[in-house]
């Protein structure tokens, strides 16, 4: 085996180990959803009356963790492929698909639609 092939194999192995070590967990996914929802609530429709916006933001600050934990975790299936994970969540009959790789989450499908549904419920 040539030195170049051996170096390529070693580099590939290092990358694979790095991806496996940084493969996001379900707890990481729940934190991602909470942060994403908090950001969307902060960008909430400015045409709604201010007291309603403040009430929703306050409720989310106080109970957001319990809300996300109670709704997202039981409705999420994680497919762990070692180097990456695929998270499938059903939010208000809206399927959401998110890829977790290298400690990051990449929304693939349904995130915008689910966010709109949650936003409509808030108002």
pTM for the full predicted model: 0.77
Give dist(CA 85, CA 104) in Å, integer: 10
| Tens digit of pLDDT at every position of the chain (123 positions) | 788 888 888 887 877 787 777 789 999 999 998 888 877 777 766 666 777 777 777 777 777 778 778 888 899 999 998 888 999 999 878 899 999 998 999 999 987 777 666 656 554
Domain that holds residue 93: 3-122
Closest by CA to 31, choosing from 105, 102, 119, is 105
Cβ contact 109:94 at 8 Å: no
Q: How many domains does the chain have?
A: 1
Give dist(CA 49, CA 26) in Å, integer: 36
Looking at the chain, which runs of residues are DSSP E strands?
Answer: 76-80, 84-91, 94-101, 104-109
Cβ contact 72:63 at 8 Å: no
């Amino acid at each position: 085996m040539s030195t170049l092939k051996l170096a390529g194999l070693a580099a590939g192995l290092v990358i694979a180990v790095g991806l496996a070590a940084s493969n996001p967990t379900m707890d990481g996914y729940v934190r991602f959803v909470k942060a994403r929802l908090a950001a969307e609530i902060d960008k909430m429709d400015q045409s709604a009356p201010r007291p309603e916006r403040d009430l929703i933001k306050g409720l989310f600050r106080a109970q957001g963790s319990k809300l996300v934990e109670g709704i997202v975790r039981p409705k999420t299936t994680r497919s762990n492929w070692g180097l990456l994970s695929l998270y499938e969540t059903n939010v208000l009959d809206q399927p959401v698909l998110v890829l977790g790789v290298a400690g990051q989450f990449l929304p693939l499908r349904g995130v915008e639609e689910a966010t709109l549904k949650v936003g409509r419920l808030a108002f």
